[in-house]
Amino acid sequence: MDNIPVGTIVLVVVLVLLTIFVALSIARAVRIVPQAVALIVERLGRYQSTLPAGLHFLIPFVDRVRSTVDLREQVVSFAPQPVITSDNLVVSIDTVLYFQVTEPKSATYEIANYITGIEQLTVTTLRNVIGSMDLEQTLTSRDQINGQLRGVLDEATGRWGIRVNRVELKSIDPPQSIQGAMEQQMRAERDRRAAILTAEGVKQSAILTAEGEKQSSILRAEGAAQAAILRAQGDSRAILQVFDAIHRGDADPKLLAYQYLQMLPQIANGTSSKLWVIPTEFTAALGAIRSAFGGPQAQEPFAAGDGGGGRGRSGRRGDLPADDLPETSLPSPAEALAEARSQLEEATSEATTAGTRSGSPFSTLAERGQASAEQEFLPPPPPERKI
């Protein structure tokens, strides 16, 4: 080391320093800018250019990078701010801001800190907008508030090279007392709506029930009317067939009177009957029986036509096919008279017993019927001979 000259050592030191200087110069001259980032370059203290993404060369010790600007959309959430509404209520509003730097030069030279500027501008604009609204409008007009905030912020930050994309109200918190009153109001409103819906449901149910009962009554009445019509048609057909059968059988007054006597016990056989109704044709029927068994001739109640008894109302015997019927054998007058008397006595006794139980004048009526029947059935006594 002692043998090395001083000039050589100085030369080596100079070479080393020169190498370090060249390396530093190259490092300062070459710049690689990433995507979505912009570099603001100053030359000798003045704005020179904005470097986009890619490889760039600068003049060492002449050009200097002033700032690095992020060109992506940024999201900033501000702390809740107390705001007074028009009805003097203090609400706490939390906002979220979405913005993007469009001019890196303006964002660097027009404002010192654009984040702080946007925050303060948002707070002041929000107080101006909320101050003209009451609490109800504030809670229900979020879209309107967002639109007004965006318009004001976009106009104010345009010269800063910033575009405000969206402004959102993350939360609006009224005081606790107001929240309790709002909950009670909402509960009362929901109870009112529930009561209205219940009443409407009951009303609709009653209307539908009444309409169903109405239609059911109408259908039931129509069914009853149709049934009555069909029943009446059936009865009319039955009466016509019976009437036609009687005419075809050529029934005479004797047979009809005998049928009258057979129906008398059935009339008096009712356990709940308190009154025994004797038809008006009863005397005429007894007269017909008496004339049939050889008594004096009585007026025939069944001969209404011109052709005599048993011919029917039309009086045309040739229209009825009586010859096709089988021959019938009638009992002798004595047997028929004895059978009729026994049936009459049985009906009279039953009628008298029923009248005695019910306490009605039924027995007197039965005795009158029996006396009338005996008078009609028995032949008149022979006249007394005077000596």
Tell me the pLDDT tens digit for each residue of 186-237: 889 999 999 999 999 999 999 999 999 999 999 999 999 999 999 898 888 8
Tell me the pLDDT tens digit for each residue of 1-10: 556 777 788 8
* Mean pLDDT, range 11-15, rounded to an integer: 84
Strand partners of residue 246? none
Contact of 386 with 299, CB cutoff 8 Å = no
Distance between CA atoms of 246 and 239, rounded to whole angstroms? 10
Above 60 in pLDDT, residue 264?
Answer: yes
> Nearest-5° angle of CA 134, CA 165, CA 106?
115
Reported residue count of the chain is 387
Distance between CA atoms of 261 and 341, rounded to whole angstroms? 9
pLDDT interval class at 103 (50, 70, 90):
very high
Q: Which residues of 197-234 are buried (b: 16+ CB within 10 A; e: fewer)?
A: eeeeeeeeeeeeeeeeeeeeeeeeeeeeeeeeeeeeee
What confidence score (pLDDT) does residue 72 get? 92
Tell me the pLDDT tens digit for each residue of 83-98: 888 888 888 888 899 9
* Mean pLDDT, range 318-342, rounded to an integer: 54
Distance between CA atoms of 160 and 261, rounded to whole angstroms? 130
Distance between CA atoms of 274 and 271, rounded to whole angstroms? 8
* Mean pLDDT, range 130-134, rounded to an integer: 87
Domain extent listing, the chain: 6-70, 74-174, 178-249, 251-377
The mean of the pLDDT values for the chain is 75
Distance between CA atoms of 58 and 54, rounded to whole angstroms? 13
Among 40-49, 103-112, 174-183, 371-380, which is the least confidently predicted range?
371-380
* Phi and psi angles of residue 262, each rounded to the nearest 5 degrees, phi first: -70, -30
Among 20-24, 80-84, 216-220, 264-268, which is the least confidently predicted range?
264-268
Among 40-44, 212-216, 329-333, which is the least confidently predicted range?
329-333
Distance between CA atoms of 223 and 217, rounded to whole angstroms? 10
pLDDT interval class at 365 (50, 70, 90):
very low
> Which of 153-157, 178-182, 207-211, 307-311 holds the top average pLDDT?
207-211
More confident residue, 341 or 217: 217
Contact of 375 with 287, CB cutoff 8 Å = no
Distance between CA atoms of 292 and 254, rounded to whole angstroms? 6
Strand ranges across the sheet with 46-51: 46-51, 37-43, 63-70
Class of 74-174 in CATH: alpha beta
More confident residue, 349 or 365: 349
What confidence score (pLDDT) does residue 268 get? 64
Give the ranges where the chain is alpha helix by DSSP (H).
6-29, 104-109, 114-131, 135-140, 142-156, 176-249, 253-268, 282-292, 333-358, 362-377
Among candidate residues 286, 279, 299, 291, the one with its CA nearest the CA of residue 258: 286
Above 80 in pLDDT, residue 274?
Answer: no
pLDDT interval class at 305 (50, 70, 90):
very low
* Mean pLDDT, range 113-127, rounded to an integer: 89
The per-residue DSSP string of 316-368 comes to -GGGS-GGGSPP--PPPHHHHHHHHHHHHHHHHHHHHHHHHHHTSTHHHHHHH
Tokens read off for 54: 């890619």
Give percent above pLDDT 70 in the chain. Answer: 66
Distance between CA atoms of 372 and 289, rounded to whole angstroms? 13
* Mean pLDDT, range 230-253, rounded to an integer: 80
Q: Is 101 helix (H, G, I), strand (E, B) or coil?
A: strand
Distance between CA atoms of 65 and 109, rounded to whole angstroms? 14
Strand partners of residue 83? 91
Give percent above pLDDT 90 in the chain. Answer: 18
* Mean pLDDT, range 168-183, rounded to an integer: 83
More confident residue, 237 or 362: 237
What confidence score (pLDDT) does residue 317 get? 41
Q: Is 54 helix (H, G, I), strand (E, B) or coil?
A: strand
Termini Cα distance of the chain: 217
